[in-house]
Amino acid sequence: MLRFLTAGESHGKGLVTIIDNFPAGVKIDEDFINDKLRLRQSGYGRGARQKIETDKIEFLSGVRGGLTTGSPISFFIKNKDYENWRDRMDPYKSVPEESKIHTPRPGHADFAGSIKFGLDDIRNVLERSSARETASRVAVGAICQILLKNFGIEFASAVLNIGGVGVEADEISGEKKKKGSELNSDPFALNLIDLFDEVISRNIKNSELRMLYSEHEEKAKAFIDKMKAEGDTVGGLITAQVKGVPVGLGSFTQWDEKLDAQIAMSVMSIQAIKSVEIGAGVKSAYLKGSECHDSIYCGSSGSFYRKTDNAGGIEGGMSNGEIISVTCAMKPIPTLMKPYLDTVDLNTCEAKKAFLERSDVCAVPAASIVVESAVAFSICYFFLKKFGGDGFAEIKRNYDGYCKNENKN
């Protein structure tokens, strides 16, 4: 069973990750992984730390001669900023009382984490709960994508809106969307946006905010600048899609075997994500059955297809061959530049204002890369569960045999 573990703190020496049960014989593209790590650090509205760190993967085990060996893959991502925090993050030096933090930030893990573990210094919580950990998850997702590319499975992600500025559910119709052009009106067409469309894909690549349209980006940048001037932060809406997934990943037989359940858990576990939708998502509640469900057709070649994808590529917990579409909401980062939020000292119960820890105004573009990576791991998990083998050649035989039989049907 494919799995991974991460370790490390935001200002510690670095992040360590172990991936277990990854097959042998997969050619690793280090540049592809580092490019994903670079994208995670980019985006308009990021803080000063992104100018310090330049994340690169360093494999410690499980890769030899450019190929995976079948052994656990372990890698290290160095925190260059550790040198500025050495005195406070040293594993052995005692922590001076004056540097300890007792006032939790609302919206962060500070409060519950300190009480859960009985800690007298909130830094022991915030260092690990920080989104810095997502660098590991992006690298894991990139490794999964490298494997799945060999089977024609592609991934894409984008920012739909930032603080409400950008794409709304009533702005894009299916027909206009497919051409990657004008805006129109269809209140239930948000899930129909095709991130693999040539125009849309190019727009995302050329956008600092990874948005679909330049007119949205300029407005969103202005809004981010306004939030920065006010010492505030902003969240947004993210989408990720997967193309080329074969029919039948996941299962209807048990609750924990459902593909959409695994995707929802994986994405929801990302820091600051507060909701996850598959396909039409919440909008499904406002549709009639005749409007919501995707009719099935058979083409001249005998292949099956749909004209709509409200199911988001998943029915009954299984992939149905259509584009898998995931949309999620990221809340504003809870560390603000000005003392807007009330809190208390956990030791004295004295009323305080939430403290400032270096932060971003907007990290939604970076989070879109993390979401894409989380979805990639979930797809890879069920892909290996269905076509699994110890090595790449065995997986390829299993996959080809399944596709051959599927085409016969």
More confident residue, 2 or 177: 2
Model's pTM, two decimal places?
0.92
**Measured in whole angstroms, how far is the alpha carbon of residue 37 from the centre of its chain?**
12
Q: What is the CATH number of the domain that holds 41?
A: 3.60.150.10
**Largest distance between two CA atoms of the chain:** 75
- Residue 358's pLDDT is what? 67
- Residue 47's pLDDT is what? 65
CA distances from 249 to 236, 259, 266, 324 (A): 30, 7, 16, 11
Averaged confidence pLDDT in the chain? 90
- Residue 355's pLDDT is what? 75
**Measured in whole angstroms, how far is the alpha carbon of residue 72 from the centre of its chain?**
23
Domain extent, residue 223, equals 3-408
- Residue 41's pLDDT is what? 93
- Residue 193's pLDDT is what? 84
Q: pLDDT band for position 319 (50/70/90)? A: very high
Q: Pairing mode, if any, of strands 314-315 and 318-319?
A: antiparallel
Q: pLDDT band for position 185 (50/70/90)? A: very low
Q: What is the pLDDT of residues 7-53, one digit of tens each?
A: 999 999 999 999 999 999 999 999 999 999 999 998 887 765 555 66
Cα–Cα distance, 12 to 80 (Å, whole number): 9
Q: Do 373 and 273 contact (CB within 8 A), yes or no? A: no
Q: What is the pLDDT of residues 119-143, one digit of tens each?
A: 999 999 999 999 999 999 999 999 9
- Residue 190's pLDDT is what? 44
In this structure, of 39-53, 209-223, 239-253, 353-367, the range with the lowest mean pLDDT score is 39-53
- Burial class (CB within 10 angstroms; exposed 0-12, middle 13-18, buried 19+) of 8: buried
Both tokens of 136, joined, read 């590991």
Mean pLDDT for 347-373 is 91
- Residue 388's pLDDT is what? 87
pLDDT at 91 over 70: yes
In the chain, the percentage of residues whose pLDDT exceeds 90 is 79
Both ends of the chain: CA-CA distance in Å? 29
Q: Give residue for tokens 């933090």.
A: 101
Query: Number of structural domains, the chain?
Result: 1
Q: Do 73 and 385 contact (CB within 8 A), yes or no? A: no
Full 3-state SS string of the chain = CCEEEEECCCCCCEEEEEEECCCECCECCHHHHHHHHHHHHCCCCCCCHHHHCCCCCEEEECEECCEECCCCEEEEEECCCHHHHHHHHCCCCCCCHHHCCCCCCCCCCHHHHHHHHCCCCCHHHHHHHCHHHHHHHHHHHHHHHHHHHCCCCEEEEEEEEECCEECCCCCCCHHHHHCCCCCCCCCCCHHHCCCCCHHHHHHHHCCCCCECCHHHHHHHHHHHHHHHHCCCCCCEEEEEEEECCCCCCECCCCHHHCHHHHHHHHHHCCCCEEEEEECCHHHHHHCCHHHHCCCEEECCCCCEEECCCCCCCEECCEECCCCEEEEEEECCCCCCCCCCCEEECCCCCCEEECCCCCCCCCCHHHHHHHHHHHHHHHHHHHHHHHHCCCEHHHHHHHHHHHHHHHHHC
- Residue 327's pLDDT is what? 95
Q: pLDDT band for position 395 (50/70/90)? A: very high
Which residue in 37, 23, 18, 2 sits closest to 150, CA to CA?
23
Which residue in 86, 87, 84, 60 sits closest to 71, CA to CA?
60
